[in-house]
A and B are shown apart, each in its own frame.
Chain A
Amino acid sequence: MAQNTANATRETSLEEALWNDACLTLEMIALMVRNGIANNPPSLRIKAHAGPVREHLMQRLEEIVSKTVFHKMPVGIDEQRLIGGLDLSATLASGKRIASKGLLAQCHDEMLVVPMANLVPSETISQVTSAMDNGHVHVERDGMSARDQAAFGLIVFDESDEGDQPLSESLCDRIMFHLDLSPISYRVLQHAVRPDFKQTATSAICDNTIIEEICALALSMGITSMRPIQQAIQVAILNARLNGRTKVLQEDVLTSIRLSLLQRAKYLPQPPADEVLEEEPEPEHEKDEDNHQDQEQSADLSQKPLEDMSIEALASELPDGLLDQLVATLSLNAKSMSQGRKGARQYSHKRGRPVASRRGTLRSGQSLDLIATLRAAIPWQKMRRSQIEATVEGSCDRIHVRPQDFHIRRYKENTETSTIFVVDASGSTALNRLAEAKGAIESLLAEGYARRDHVALVSFRKREAEVLLPPTRSLVRAKKSLSALPGGGGTPLASGLQSAFLIASEEMRNGRMTSIVLLTDGSANVALDGTGGRAQAMSDAMKVSEMIAANDIPCLLVDVSKLASPKAREISQALGANYLPMPFVSSKNLSDAVRASR
């Protein structure tokens, strides 16, 4: 099993191994920078919060690529500043059209750093990815048209935690290196030394077997896009070059998988040997149930001997603990990666959030957008001035604004609604009614889709609740996560309600009308802290219910037990919810009831 692995890594701790990888990445980026950023821009995602470790890494990078300029992108950057546009004051002063370059164009052949990238609005992300694809920014606005070169290196700080908005997937897809610094503590850094690469090769070739291997590995990790493959090949070539080789070897592939693909994997490739499996902790194993199907699908791919070898080698090369950690994050990955985040954000204008102002007349209750009005008036000044000078004596050096210049501020009205479905997927329900519940929800989703509602999906079973789908308007995604909903296990009702409450408050903050639809039989038997016991479970559930009621969140409780359950009724009273026993429920009147409960 240990054919070609330097087993030294096995002895180092997980943290050190991760840090070494991070340092190796920096060397690769330095190599790319030396060849000219604009020729082949490096890109790096760092999964970590602000802190000494990240700080240290950035410092180190700045030392290594000493002459490179780093530009920071403010989180709330506006479009004009990002891609550029008309420089109004310069245009007026010179009488010629003068364009101002945006941040992206300013970063050409330099580095762009995006902090809190997971919070950057999707419109901004789209601009960045489009510049990455084209190597230039295409500006068509304010009566000017320009194409500014914008081939920049990119460093993205992904500060998302579980439950947060994940980093945009279309951005992730275009990033070459992916590092997770979160498990590293500062003390590891003290005895880390800069890796020593004396002789680097100027180029390295990658033959077809290696390309085939990377393709197969990526597919077996659930990475379907073609971009990551190209990136992994590049990383393998860089690794070979760093080690002074002119040909890519197996070990380079392993490094490239670690640095480029592993963090984006939706599931781990199934190794043929059982030894590796043992390293996976048992409980996590169950959690991954929904991925198993995919793994089985990829099993026939792993028949290929070459790939087997790499998976084995990969598993043996990974330091202890990394595999465990990966398995733990993978179930999260599989969800968040397949979802992206744009659907949830894209049209979600917060209450009263201004949108582009339009030409219009002033009426009461509307406010004037002064800048836009002036911008509309300015081109006409010369003409208007000469008109006025013809009729009136003396000079007029005021700005002449006419009613047709008026631009009115517009706000997106708050009419959006959001429905959070909380589905009891415990053993008791799964046996009885889970399939029916799914059917009812599907038809509700269809209704919601027609009304352009936002929909979120929380399921609870076993020990705690799981947010299967953060609020979204994408029907495709909602249906996907619903069909993947597994059943069985205990009934952590309180935990389910708590998750729903958290989402509901977030949605209400976003100015949406929010309601919760709870499908359960009410027989809670797992308490908030994950322990069993009916009494504690029930009292926890009641507590959370009262909290929801206190926050005035409209609820509907659908009792899915065969005979109406008194417990469910009790919960619904605590929630202040409408109570609807399932025997009388068709999907039609369920959806009517949901609408009525708002």
Chain B
Amino acid sequence: MTQVTYPFAAIVGQTELKHALVLSAVDASLGGVLALGDRGTGKTTAVRGLAALLPKIEAARDCRYQCSGTDEGVQCRECAEKTEIKSHKIAVPVVDLPLGVTEDRVLGALDIEQALVNGEKRFEPGLLADANRGFLYIDEVNLLEDHLVDVLLDVAASGWNVVEREGLSLRHPARFVLIGSGNPEEGDLRPQLLDRFGLSVDVTTPGDISERVEVIKRRDAFDKDPVNFTQDWKRETTKLRNRISRSRDLVSKVDVDDQMLALIAEICIALGTDGLRGELTLIKASRAEAAWSGDIKVTEKHISNMAPLALGHRLRRNPLDDSRGSVRVERILDQVLADRNVA
């Protein structure tokens, strides 16, 4: 049973969230997206929609990790040993990490059936293998058990899943874009996890009545006839898909000159973000943003667009300052830019 997903292009409002998701698809190394916000704002809908939107990828046939046939640095052992790899087109994997998942299913484990029937020791890949070269989506990321979070962070950082358990010893590529969503009122996120996400978005319900009515109407139309609704949005979907493909080709060619690098450093220093991860992410995000707008050079505008998304969740939490991280970033940003223009 394949469920028709609500088309990404038809989502009303939520421009920030959609933009962040699209950019993470343009540059997978950006570090994923964290969407925090109210209930019933369409976080899950957006993530599911993104999967259907993305262009297909070439993957090796009969490979359990959907290895790329060409990129030799990140292949599993079997693919690396093969002289010739036959590949086919597959949809970008989007893997859900459901609640109550156990560690063995995340990392992969001994195939119990094989062990029982044949007494054979065989590795059964887990969800991290399924998510290789795609997206790993964790709804209610703040409710995830701590030890699973540790495991995920470890793999997300290295891009490799190293299995040493139950007498098995192997490693396989696990490069995925981590997408998390959750409601901060239901429990805070550990700061380590927060920092690991490339971009973060605060999702709010639309306050505008006409926008809300539009949400309801489209959803209703979709529920009544998902197939036709999707068909109606096909043109928009294709347009978006092509733009993502174009930006992907362009992103490696985008240039960030020293002046812009200095600006990025200045912003990070003014905000007092810990570590270099914020700075690196902002550089990458600005590059993706430039590619998305079809530019081959990063400008001040690209940086100021991306700074709230890339840095908002990296600020040290100030309980006396009520405003959201992104608002604080914007405030500092205005200052830095103003100082620059004066100088």
Do A and B share a complex? yes
Residues of A within 8 A of B (CB): 79, 82-83, 86, 91-92, 95-97, 122-123, 126-127, 130, 133, 138-145, 169-170, 173, 208, 211-212, 215-216, 219, 224-230, 233, 301, 338-340, 342-343, 346-347, 356, 358-359, 376, 378-383, 386, 404, 442-443, 445-446, 449, 473-477, 479, 483
With A140-B102, A226-B40 as known contacts, state yes or no: A342 contacts B186, CB within 8 Å.
yes
Within 8 A of A (CB), among B109-136: 109-113, 115-119, 121, 124, 126-127
Nearest-neighbour CB distance to chain A for B208, whole angstroms, equals: 9
Q: Which residues of A contact B117 (CB under 8 A)?
A: 95-96, 382
Q: Which residues of A contact B98 (CB under 8 A)?
A: 130, 138-140
CB-based contact B101/A140 at 8 Å: yes
CB-based contact A143/B112 at 8 Å: yes
- The stretch of B66-74, B302-310, B317-325, B328-336 that contacts the partner chain: B317-325
Q: Which residues of B contact A227 (CB under 8 A)?
A: 39-40
Nearest-neighbour CB distance to chain B for A102, whole angstroms, equals: 10
- Shortest Cβ distance from A307 into B: residue: B209
Nearest-neighbour CB distance to chain B for A346, whole angstroms, equals: 4
CB-based contact A219/B143 at 8 Å: no
Nearest-neighbour CB distance to chain B for A383, whole angstroms, equals: 4
Nearest-neighbour CB distance to chain A for B3, whole angstroms, equals: 8
Q: Which residues of A contact B255 (CB under 8 A)?
A: none
Of the residues B44, B116, B187, B317, contact of A379 by C-beta under 8 Å: B116
With A122-B143, A224-B38, A382-B119 as known contacts, state yes or no: A476 contacts B100, CB within 8 Å.
no
- Shortest Cβ distance from A380 into B: residue: B115
Q: Which residues of B contact A343 (CB under 8 A)?
A: 185-187
Of the residues A144, A230, A346, contact of B219 by C-beta under 8 Å: A230
Q: Which residues of A contact B127 (CB under 8 A)?
A: 140
Residues of B within 8 A of A (CB): 38-42, 44, 96-102, 104-106, 109-113, 115-119, 121, 124, 126-127, 139-140, 143, 145, 147, 165-167, 183-188, 205, 207, 209, 212-213, 215-217, 219-220, 317-320, 322
Q: Which residues of B contact A442 (CB under 8 A)?
A: 319-320
Q: Which residues of B contact A342 (CB under 8 A)?
A: 143, 185-187
Q: Which residues of A contact B319 (CB under 8 A)?
A: 442-443, 445-446, 449, 475, 479
Nearest-neighbour CB distance to chain A for B276, whole angstroms, equals: 24
CB-based contact A211/B217 at 8 Å: yes
- Shortest Cβ distance from B184 into A: residue: A476
A79-B143 Cα distance, complex, nearest whole Å: 15
A226-B220 Cα distance, complex, nearest whole Å: 12
CB-based contact A143/B105 at 8 Å: yes
With A126-B143, A142-B104, A442-B319 as known contacts, state yes or no: A226 contacts B112, CB within 8 Å.
no
Of the residues B99, B109, B145, B186, contact of A143 by C-beta under 8 Å: B109
CB-based contact A474/B188 at 8 Å: yes
With A226-B41, A343-B186, A476-B185 as known contacts, state yes or no: A379 contacts B115, CB within 8 Å.
yes
- Shortest Cβ distance from B98 into A: residue: A138
- 27 interchain pairs (CB within 8 A)? A95-B117, A97-B116, A126-B99, A126-B140, A127-B99, A138-B96, A140-B127, A142-B105, A143-B105, A143-B111, A143-B124, A144-B105, A211-B217, A212-B209, A219-B209, A219-B212, A225-B38, A226-B212, A227-B40, A301-B209, A339-B185, A342-B143, A342-B186, A346-B186, A445-B319, A446-B319, A474-B187
CB-based contact B39/A169 at 8 Å: yes
With A138-B98, A301-B209, A383-B115 as known contacts, state yes or no: A225 contacts B40, CB within 8 Å.
yes
CB-based contact B102/A141 at 8 Å: yes
CB-based contact B187/A383 at 8 Å: no
Q: 10 more A-B contacts (CB under 8 A) besides A380-B115, A449-B317?
A: A122-B143, A144-B105, A170-B39, A211-B217, A229-B212, A342-B187, A359-B165, A382-B116, A382-B118, A475-B188
Q: Which residues of A contact B215 (CB under 8 A)?
A: 226
A123-B187 Cα distance, complex, nearest whole Å: 12
Of the residues B100, B112, B184, contact of A127 by C-beta under 8 Å: B100
CB-based contact B99/A130 at 8 Å: yes
Q: Which residues of B contact A216 (CB under 8 A)?
A: 209
Of the residues B100, B165, B213, contact of A79 by C-beta under 8 Å: B100
Which 6 A-B pairs give the minimum distances between C-beta atoms? A225-B40, A382-B119, A446-B319, A140-B105, A342-B186, A379-B115
Q: Which residues of B contact A376 (CB under 8 A)?
A: 166
Q: Which residues of B contact A477 (CB under 8 A)?
A: 185
A14-B67 Cα distance, complex, nearest whole Å: 67
With A141-B105, A145-B105, A379-B110 as known contacts, state yes or no: A346 contacts B187, CB within 8 Å.
yes
Q: Which residues of A contact B113 (CB under 8 A)?
A: 96-97
Nearest-neighbour CB distance to chain B for A20, whole angstroms, equals: 28
- Shortest Cβ distance from A219 into B: residue: B209
With A126-B143, A127-B99, A442-B320 as known contacts, state yes or no: A386 contacts B216, CB within 8 Å.
no
A224-B209 Cα distance, complex, nearest whole Å: 11
CB-based contact B317/A212 at 8 Å: no
Q: Which residues of B contact A474 (CB under 8 A)?
A: 184-188
Q: Which residues of A contact B166 (CB under 8 A)?
A: 376, 379
Nearest-neighbour CB distance to chain B for A235, whole angstroms, equals: 14
A358-B148 Cα distance, complex, nearest whole Å: 13
CB-based contact A475/B40 at 8 Å: no
CB-based contact A133/B44 at 8 Å: yes
CB-based contact A340/B185 at 8 Å: yes
Q: Which residues of A contact B124 (CB under 8 A)?
A: 143
With A211-B216, A226-B215, A474-B184 as known contacts, state yes or no: A91 contacts B116, CB within 8 Å.
yes
CB-based contact B139/A130 at 8 Å: yes
A95-B120 Cα distance, complex, nearest whole Å: 13
Nearest-neighbour CB distance to chain B for A321, whole angstroms, equals: 31
Q: Which residues of B contact A381 (CB under 8 A)?
A: 116
Of the residues A86, A226, A340, A356, contact of B216 by C-beta under 8 Å: A226
- Shortest Cβ distance from A376 into B: residue: B166
A445-B143 Cα distance, complex, nearest whole Å: 22
A139-B101 Cα distance, complex, nearest whole Å: 7
Q: Which residues of A contact B100 (CB under 8 A)?
A: 79, 82-83, 123, 127, 139, 141
Nearest-neighbour CB distance to chain A for B169, whole angstroms, equals: 13
Q: Which residues of B contact A449 (CB under 8 A)?
A: 317, 319
Q: Which residues of B contact A224 (CB under 8 A)?
A: 38, 205, 207
Of the residues A143, A226, A347, A445, contact of B104 by C-beta under 8 Å: A143
A301-B208 Cα distance, complex, nearest whole Å: 10
- Shortest Cβ distance from B121 into A: residue: A383
Q: Which residues of B contact A301 (CB under 8 A)?
A: 209
Nearest-neighbour CB distance to chain B for A446, whole angstroms, equals: 4
With A126-B140, A382-B119 as known contacts, state yes or no: A340 contacts B186, CB within 8 Å.
yes
Q: Which residues of B contact A144 (CB under 8 A)?
A: 105, 112
A92-B113 Cα distance, complex, nearest whole Å: 10
Of the residues B42, B105, B185, B187, contact of A226 by C-beta under 8 Å: B42
Q: Which residues of B contact A359 (CB under 8 A)?
A: 165
Nearest-neighbour CB distance to chain B for A265, whole angstroms, equals: 16
Nearest-neighbour CB distance to chain B for A298, whole angstroms, equals: 11
Q: Which residues of B contact A382 (CB under 8 A)?
A: 115-119
A340-B319 Cα distance, complex, nearest whole Å: 21
Nearest-neighbour CB distance to chain B for A350, whole angstroms, equals: 17
Q: Which residues of B contact A212 (CB under 8 A)?
A: 209, 213
Nearest-neighbour CB distance to chain A for B320, whole angstroms, equals: 6
Q: Which residues of A contact B184 (CB under 8 A)?
A: 474, 476
Nearest-neighbour CB distance to chain B for A226, whole angstroms, equals: 5
Of the residues B102, B216, B220, B317, contact of A475 by C-beta under 8 Å: B317
Q: Which residues of B contact A443 (CB under 8 A)?
A: 319-320
Of the residues A140, A347, A356, A479, contact of B187 by C-beta under 8 Å: A347
Q: Which residues of A contact B102 (CB under 8 A)?
A: 140-142
A224-B38 Cα distance, complex, nearest whole Å: 9
Q: Which residues of B contact A225 (CB under 8 A)?
A: 38-41, 205
Q: Which residues of B contact A230 (CB under 8 A)?
A: 216, 219-220
